[in-house]
Chain A
Amino acid sequence: MSRVAIIVLALLLASLAPGNPEASFVEAPIYRAERVLFSRQVRLRNRQGQYRLDFVQLRPQGNRGAIFQIYLREPTVYYSFSRPLDSFLDLQVNGIALKWLEPRTESFSCWQRGEQAGVDLALNFDGARVLLSFCMRRDSPVLWAKVTPQAGGTVRTAQLSLFAVPSGMVPGQLSEGYQRIAIHAEGQREQGDEAWVLPAGIDYLVLTDEALEPGQREGTIGPCYVVFDATAAERGLLEMRNSYRLTLTFQLDPSKVFAFGVWESSRPYANADFLELLDASRAAFSLSEVVTEGEPRGSGEAP
């Protein structure tokens, strides 16, 4: 049996095994805690994996004010969507960036409903309220998320950005050149100076690097994967230059709930192996209904 087949089988067995996913607040060491004003840490896990989200309010430093960051700390720290000192996403509502907000303890709530468990973060962008949710499903190793406009304010514009470092960041690699490739249902897109407007119909990307592919280079990891509800976004834009970090930005339809999922693994996968895994476990890597608290002001349709 091939390695991928074993993994697929393991995923399948895990999803069939009894026990729903869990979401809980945890207390884990925080890097340079003296710089932190406030933090909430949440671990989401099921039998197929786990993620830890660190919601951190950093103290003012120098001439910048306090900022709010969301770190994805598990399953890795340094690769894919996890970066030790950078938020893995940004959300701007009505031109106000998430990083300037000041969520407090009561803004967070962990929940478990049926075969999903997650955390909701209630955000207020100067009166425009939005619920940002993360969860795991019983049947999937993906970290699912959702941006849900709430009643009581007007979301005129909303933009979500995701930041990723596929396959790692090797010292000196910039001079050698990265070879980032985004693989999608219709083919693949290579890195370039021009940002790429995602064509209609593309609803997932496998983010890889051919030069840093696990198995080819020591110390690399990846690839990583992002899936999204393209119907709830007005536009998607991938900026994938010869740089360690790429950015995927969605201009959201403010009347809709936008759902997405990210996947990363601490276990290195060759690019082909992951694609094989994806093919074999399509349902586990696909959007399905993600439960959230509160009534979405938009269509309410779940992906």
Chain B
Amino acid sequence: MKRKALLAMLLMGALATGSEGAKPYGANAALNPVRFQPPPSHEPLRLITEGRAAFAIAIDQASESTINQRRRRSIHRGAEVLRKAFGKCFGVEVPIVDAGEAGLAERYGYLILVGKSVLTDALEMRPLELPAEGFEVRSFAGGVAIAGHDGSIIPDAYHPMDSGLYRLNGTLNGVHDFIERFLGVRFYYPGDGTIWPEASELTLQPVHYQDWPTFQRRYSWAVQHSLTEKNWIPELGPFQPTDFEERWRLGQSTRMTSSHSPKPESWAKVHPDKIETIFYRAPNDHLYYNTKQHTGNYFDVTNLEVAKLLVDDLVKFYESGGTYTAPWDGWYPPNSEYVIFGQCDTFLATLDNAVVRELELIPASRRDSRDGALSDIYSRFHIALAEELKARLPDKRLAIMPYQNYALPPLKEEYSRFPDNVDLCVCIGDFPRSIRNPEAVARWRERLKQWYEVLGNRPVEQLWLYNAPNDTFGRAVIARMVAEIPGQMGEYLGRGGMYFDLHGGFDWEHYYNYYAMYRAMWNPEFNVDAALNEQWELMYGAAAPHLEAFDALLVERWESVRALGGKAEEAYPLTVLDELEKLLSQAQEAVVPESVEARRLALFSKPWPKAFERARGLVLHSKPHYLVKRIPEAILPAIDGKAEESFWQEAPLLALRDPFGGMEPPAFPTRARLAWSADSLYAIFEMTGAPKADEEKGLFTNDNVEIFLSPGMDGNDYFQIAVDATGQFWQGQQTLKPVATPVNADMRIAGFEQAISIGDDGWTLELRIPFAGLEVESPEVYSSWQVNIIRNKHSQPPEYTAFSLTLGVNKNVEYFGTIKFLGRGD
């Protein structure tokens, strides 16, 4: 269908009388399915005639006078948005007047009432009685009213302790709905992705509907982050400050949020004498306290004194009126209703001390559980924290996030009933990528049911979902599937929200996918297919059929292969890649060069050439195979950060490449080599490019090298060794079979040696890794191990190269290359 014809139909829909069958006037399958009411009885409203406006926008000018945050001024913002939309679409300047003025009707003809005012009161509208963020649109003989549940005019709706994301902008939401529904405006992305249909006539038929969001938390930091001048991408056109968050109705009407809190480094500074109490000390005497960065810290959740100490600080926070913020230092502080507790991403396989052993806090059946090894430890702690909070701050609620190896509900009876002041945000690493995998759905439904029972038959309020990292094919399709989760989880999922972790920044090239997802968060009944079909037509004209087919093929591949656990190379064989490339090429041929459609297509197409190249590389790829030379017995290698010894010169080079399959050779080559002796594996990396080597920074933010070793060919486990250019190192181990366990970050490789030399334009790292230190037998001659080696260059320009094509998941053993331990004289 041609775009203009579609636009005409859109507006014709608005002109329809509503008497044709069951479809109400204003209904559009591509928009939110609002709650239509019987339309009032009055003549059609000829708002615009021959390009002239016959109305004014009327608001209560005095309202929102105490609201300082612009994004909470729902009524005033709504009026501005409406005026702008009429200006863009009809070229008219519509006045905004005070609803209290006398004689408005005589002066302006019709009125569009925005927000609660004396005029909406006169119509007996009760917008503040709507659910949070809801709105009502109702026509009347003298115009149309758009009024919503606005926190800006509800006394005490906003508390100084509340996050700015907490905003109740019903009227603003209503205005956006109105201009989409009756003016045909569409907000897909800033600039060329925003459609303002031009027209000279607008007649509104009688209409009445309400709407409000299903989920309270619909927000992503990444969207706003992407719209700053610094992160603006050229495909969006010249930089312009934009309020896309409000256009996509992002925000939250719940104060519940979840994250890592308090901030470990800051909390430690407040209690320098309590560091031993706050942080976990492992049996190898390592204290999980890292002053340099967030990760590396681990609160001792086996120690209930930590809970008491936190509540002490919470009491101080509330007693100070929110001015005592040192333990949080701006990082997810408490708010007027919720207290947040969560651990940072320092993954420990297990916790082991006298308390854990004495209370048997890790049940035998959970000892090797990747999702539940620590569930009972955490539940014990969470209960203690909630009870302490209830005793001392009874009006506050506790938000916690079952996550990683405590994502499963506890097993022990005494920790299986949470106090009623606890709300959960459960992290589902499988979603949305596995939403169309019935087994994964059934698994998570059962887990949520168990949490529901732990909560005393209250639902899990929120979910934390993850985008597909480094996977263009997945990122193009999976977000929209979020619409299916509420139906799948049923009564076990509350309406607190689904936080979508972008996992890699906001990629506007997949705007349509995220557009559909946030719409679905507003209302899971949103018709994703209808919305996307309309979008292809509106945005791409003659190229639409090709892009629709392109998208459909991606969805089909995901649904039938990837969602069920199939590998990328199985989902996207060369025939599929050829077809996708052909469709994209046909789309490009169908648009007029330099046209707006061509510019839109440029954004849409942006990630695909690289994605195709990498996917082809993956299909054609064979696992790398490296031959490790044996060092003659007479030589005792010196670990000095230099590759001068003859055995290094004779060792073959180990190639590092784009781990996603790209064919371009690295811009910063690495001369990597391995060698071995009866007792150790040796490695040397001669790297070009001056490294980022800041001792004040953490290992993983400096230039570093990571080595993953999986002894043998069974892939039962792997060791990870990371060393940065300052000499900081990290060592870990993970068991993968028969049951995957979390990474054990406690391990220390006895006899491990490293040496670094930094030159003007590069650095060299030399390592000795004793087999005994890994607690494995020395490899038999001519046996093989599975290995990955990564160089993370973080100095500018950054570069990420690897031995194995692991698609960015460095520990993806299945994709590891092999090394073979050669014999004497080989």
Contacts and interface: CB of A to CB of B under 8 A. Distances in A.
Nearest to B627: A102
Most buried by A among B625, B782, B818, B820: B782
Interface string B778-790: 0001111000000
A76 to B, nearest CB: 29
A226 B823 CA distance: 32
B826 A66 contact: no
20 contacts: A34-B622, A37-B622, A59-B622, A60-B623, A60-B818, A63-B712, A63-B713, A63-B714, A64-B713, A65-B713, A65-B783, A65-B784, A65-B818, A65-B820, A66-B625, A102-B782, A102-B822, A126-B824, A127-B823, A152-B825
A263 B451 CA distance: 73
A196 to B, nearest CB: 32
Interface string A32-68: 0010010000000000000000000001101111100
Contacts of B782: 65, 96, 100-102, 126
B714 to A, nearest CB: 5
Interface residues of B, number: 19
A125 interface: yes
Given A37-B625, A66-B818, A60 B823 contact: no
B715 interface: yes
B825 A153 contact: yes
B784 A96 contact: no
A103 to B, nearest CB: 10
4 closest Cβ pairs, A-B complex: A126-B823, A65-B784, A127-B824, A100-B782
A124 interface: yes
B626 to A, nearest CB: 10
A96 B782 CA distance: 9
A64 B784 CA distance: 8
Interface string B811-826: 0000000101011111
A96 B780 CA distance: 10
A235 interface: no
Contacts of A189: none
A184 interface: no
B818 A124 contact: no
Contacts of A129: 825
Contact of A96 (B622, B625, B781, B825): B781
Contacts of A102: 627, 782, 820, 822, 826
A62 B784 CA distance: 12
Nearest to A96: B782
Given A59-B623, A64-B713, A124 B784 contact: no
A132 to B, nearest CB: 16
Contacts of A64: 713
B244 to A, nearest CB: 47
Contacts of B822: 102
Contacts of B715: 63
A125 B823 contact: yes
A65 B623 CA distance: 11
A129 B824 CA distance: 10
Nearest to A100: B782
A102 B782 CA distance: 9
B821 to A, nearest CB: 10
Nearest to B818: A60
Given A34-B622, A102-B820, 6 more contacts: A60-B713, A100-B782, A100-B783, A102-B822, A124-B823, A124-B826
A37 B627 CA distance: 12
A91 B715 CA distance: 29
Interface in A69-96: 96
Contacts of B823: 96, 124-127
A268 B712 CA distance: 46
Contacts of A65: 713, 782-784, 818, 820
A66 B820 contact: yes
Interface in B505-547: none
Nearest to A125: B823
Interface string A7-42: 000000000000000000000000000100100000
B784 A127 contact: no
Contacts of A126: 781-782, 823-826
